[in-house]
Amino acid sequence: MDRCPICRNRAPAAECSRCGADLSSLLRLEQQAQRLVESGITLLRLRHYEGALQLLSSALRQQYHPLTEKLAAMAGEAQLKAAIAAMLRQDWAEAKRSTESLLRWGPREAQDQLLAEQLAGFIEQQRRLRS
């Protein structure tokens, strides 16, 4: 955290040197979010998009940061591509699984969410046609 949320003091420690506020739990949350982001980046590098999306979404819930949001969107986009690729090779079980995880952890962009919902509908329709 750049500033104390109470008195706006710069770079506060666990106890703010100006107003004395106990910021230890806030700092802990911030460190937790940072660890989630780092693990999310590692999973992105390993192309484990589903796990990356899960970790980055958790990090965003703990602490919003525009870069984390971009990384989550990146993981979401890669996951969407994986779902479409599975659909194209008619691997409906995999397509359904990837799309469901996207819907659960989905990117915040409404358009991607809508696309994922449409995909889920299409996959269900294909599965019904084939069973």
Q: Which of 1, 6, 13, 85 binds Zn ion (CB under 5 A)?
A: 6
Do 127 and 113 form a contact (C-beta atoms < 8 A)?
no
Cβ neighbors of 75 (< 8 A, separation 6 or more) are 40, 43, 44, 49, 52, 53, 56
Q: Name which of residues 8 to 47 contact Zn ion (CB under 5 A).
A: 9, 16, 18-19, 21
User: Which stretch, 3-11, 38-46, 104-112, 114-122, contacts Zn ion (CB under 5 A)?
Assistant: 3-11
Q: Is there binding between residue 1 and Zn ion (CB under 5 A)?
A: no
Binding-residue total with Zn ion (CB under 5 A): 8
- How far CA 79 is from CA of 5, 22, 28, 39, 114, in Å, comes to 36, 40, 30, 17, 15
Candidate list 1, 3, 7, 114; residue touching Zn ion; CB under 5 A: 7
Nearer to Zn ion, 16 or 43 (CB): 16
- Between CA 82 and CA 68 the distance in angstroms is 21
Q: Which is nearer to Zn ion, 9 or 58 (CB)?
A: 9
User: Which residues on neighbouring strands pair with residue 22, listed in sequence order?
Assistant: 15
Residues at the site binding Zn ion, with contacts judged by CB under 5 A: 4, 6-7, 9, 16, 18-19, 21
